[in-house]
Structure 1
């Protein structure tokens, strides 16, 4: 086993920095801490462990995503499927396969996200009554995570503005960078919303766009990769800097298929990975799973053995259950007589109906703008429409993403059937989402967009998955303890969105990153 530099072996790394593990003919690799997955949780954890005198190995099933002109072409992403790498999953109700919205590249799903990095509200960590039931409290409070939110915002270079959002929780420090200003069309929209008594705010985001040309380059970046480093994501802000340390290494094209325990079944001794046509054994002291809420649960379920017949860390029977994915709708306001010349729209949000109050008995959710829809984005939703017609629509549309919290339900779950991943999912808490769509429709029409088009997201939209290995204080009702360590297996940790007791109604990426920073000292101490 030896370490080599990116510029010697891997053309997929655009900056050629850090250390990639070259395995050669060996059958076994060793480390102090193995991190399975290089998305927001795994890469942030590697960054935080980089100076702790531990041999850290990040194992990623994908490769470095190439930088090429096609990165910013929505047609390549959404019509040609250029960067789709996930195997099909299966709908537990119908048995039919579907293509999930997850991606296996270094940096994980953050390579394709829109850079939206809000903090959860303080109420999201507390027990909350919703229309369809209770959203449970977390095993730690907002104030416990707040310092790590601040650190994560600095790491990911978050732009924002204090004091605009009436639901914003307390902060120990201001946003690291000023907000991205609205372009003229969005500024007019914000003015109209304020005139209606609403409180539009500049959304916290990780897009470093200082010129209009950079905005034009990023137009499709909400859903596609970026050719530049203007978008802060897990690879460029956390993993690549971590790889400058001699103590952090990366193994690509290695799919971890099983975790192996000692004879007692209470400690993991190795991971098995499919690596370029052969099986690689990875031995470590501590094992951190961060492959995404679905794949992390699937890995632990597939690792069942005689001592753990229902999967590793599953004495509660909750592993894979309480799958949450948000109620979400793509929303377009259309004015046929007015073109929308905005290059990067994702600068405005509304949380006026996020918590219950005089205007709404139950929480309704969040409004945020989309980067800017193009014809290729909407073709799959309207396959019968010609591209020229879709282009005329998206040239004149105001594009919005609406999110309402869904609730943890044991029957919503991830299962494995041999090599297949099966998703059992029935949407819940849907009535508040319909109410949110209705209220936004009214506000958008008053703002000068008389035609409303909506598309509710279904089982194949998986960008905000969470809840499949819930954290809590009671081993009978949770999979992980409050530090995200398995109740059952002392050297197993899960640091992606699997640990979420509830989904809130906001993008989860910053909360995943902040939590990885929070639990890193616990993992480091256990590995010593």
Structure 2
């Protein structure tokens, strides 16, 4: 059994960032990843392979609360889901950290404030090359400094849309994008502003992900060891159950054990909960670190929907994901409850539209639709519910989830349709009724969070404010599991910022402070 100073399980936004943070400690760090490196291949930019064939998603099958098969939209790669994420990195709003009344219930306060995270948000944005501009979003929390990288400019059709929205009284802003783009020197820019970014792997490694920005640079240090295709099966505690003794890992079909005085689980909110549940023993009958009974519970994934706005005017935009709007994030004058967030999606094509076409449509029709479409994404907060949970039954993940807070979210989508219909007809999506929108199903777990919430009370939370398990002296969870609530923006930047924050704590611990 080989021993290290620290073991990290998972290389996504949480684990991959933490590896980067700890790489210069000089301590021996083992990083375990159940998948391998995502292949760099022509299919990276093939929309049929990516969206219809789901080439980069796992083939494993989970179960719903009704016992139906669930094919999750998640992948196991070095870099985790950041390999195919949309690269939009938002800060939670300052009010998201406080108790917030929604139409359907209360979003709980966090044990820490936005001010505790602000310096780590800044650090995270620099690490992931986030492009943006402060001062345009009316809900933007305070910032100690401007973005390190300038905003990604709008292409002409999107600039027209932006100007029409402003003229109509809306307050759109540049989307904070994590891409390696240098618009002032496109000949030498890693990013080429293509139409295969949102949801695709980046063939030229110009999207800032946990693999390219964090893991690979960390591997240049001799103290970092990465083992791929290494699936953690169980954490085994000492006899008294107070600390993790060793980890059982499957590598090439064989069970191997590794040991470290500090163990960090960062498998994603669903798989981290599953791993701890599978690690139940005589001292922890209901799962490791589950004295509160909250492990696996309070699963959140956002209320999400995609919408095509079909215009009479063609939309030749290539890199479309540059504009967002939070005008209705906390409601409107006629509805005093949070509604959510609006942003542009990457530009669609006929292969992306085909699986969800609401009627039989030949390819030429879908192509015409895509050429005239502006693509939108909506995110609304779903509230933590103890009945929304991850379970492991006979070794298989079961995901029990009932949507909530839908009235506010549906109002957001309807409100935005009205906004678009009312802007100047030279830019509007007309006629008004040509909107194709669809809620994202349970399989869309890219925004998973909340299954091991942190807090100050061991009776109601799984982790303390350093993301250490209340009941296990050397066990940390550093991914989206710790969220007490999820807000209404993409959670990736908060996961990254939290990994940097916990990393500072672990640096002190590794050096005996």
Q: Fold match, TM over 0.5?
A: yes
Aligned ranges 1:186-265 → 2 under 5 Å: 186-209=158-181, 210=183, 211=186, 218-265=194-241
Q: 1:33, 1:285 within 8 Å by CA — same for their partners in 2?
A: yes
**Superposition deviation, residue 338 in structure 1:** 1.8
The alignment covers a number of residue pairs equal to: 499
Relative to structure 2, which stretch is displaced further, 227-236 or 375-384? 375-384
1:386 and 1:96 map into 2 onto residues whose CA distance is 31
CA shift, 1:81, in A, is 2.5
Aligned equivalent of 2:44, options 53, 71, 80: 71
Once the 2 structures are TM-superposed, how far is the Cα of residue 431 of structure 1 from its aligned partner? 0.3
Change beyond 3 A, Cα 1:216–1:50: closer
- 2:487 corresponds in structure 1 to 504
Q: Does structure 2 retain, via aligned residues, the 8 Å contact 1:216–1:343? A: no
- Does residue 123 in structure 1 map to residue 95 in structure 2? yes
| 1:336-355 superposed matches below 5 A | 337-355=312-330
Deviation at 1:244, TM superposition (A): 1.3
Task: Map 1:275-290 to 2 at 5 A.
Answer: 275-290=251-266
Matched, 1:456 2:432: no
Deviations 1:223-256 (A, max 9, x none): 1101112210101111111111111121100010
Listed as ranges, the matches of 1:304-315 within 5 Å are 304-315=280-291
Determine the C-alpha separation between the residues in 1 that align with 2:273 and 2:59: 16
**SS of structure 1 residue aligned to 2:446:** coil
User: TM-score of the superposition, structure 1-length normalised?
Assistant: 0.92
State the alpha-carbon separation in 2 of the partners of residues 86 and 216 from structure 1.
31
Query: Aligned ranges for residues 6-405 of structure 1 at < 5 Å?
Result: 28-92=1-65, 94-209=66-181, 210=183, 211=186, 218-335=194-311, 337-356=312-331, 358-382=333-357, 384-405=360-381
* 1:453 aligned counterpart, secondary structure: strand
Whole-angstrom CA distance in 2 between matches of 1:378 and 1:30: 50
SS in 1 for 2:178: coil
Q: Secondary structure in 2 aligned to 1:237?
A: helix
TM-score (norm: length of structure 2): 0.95
Q: How does 1:477-516 map to 2 (within 5 A)?
A: 477-516=460-499
Determine the structure 2 residue equivalent to 1:409: 385
CA distance in 2, matches of 1:234, 1:179: 21
CA offsets 1:49-96 (integer angstroms, 9 cap, x no match):
01112111110001111111111111111122322224111111x211
Secondary structure in 2 matching 1:299: helix
Is the Cα contact below 8 Å between 2:190 and 2:204 reproduced in 1? no
Label 1:172 to 1:217 Cα distance change in 2 as closer, same or farther (>3 A).
closer
Provide structure 1 residue ranges, at least 5 long, that are not aligned to the other structure: 1-27
CA contact (8 A) 2:191 2:206 kept: no
Q: Cα offset for 1:214?
A: 7.6
SS of the residue aligned with 1:414? Answer: strand
> What secondary structure sits across from 1:170 in the alignment?
coil
Q: Is the 8 A contact 1:86 1:102 kept in 2?
A: no
Secondary structure of 2:456 counterpart: coil
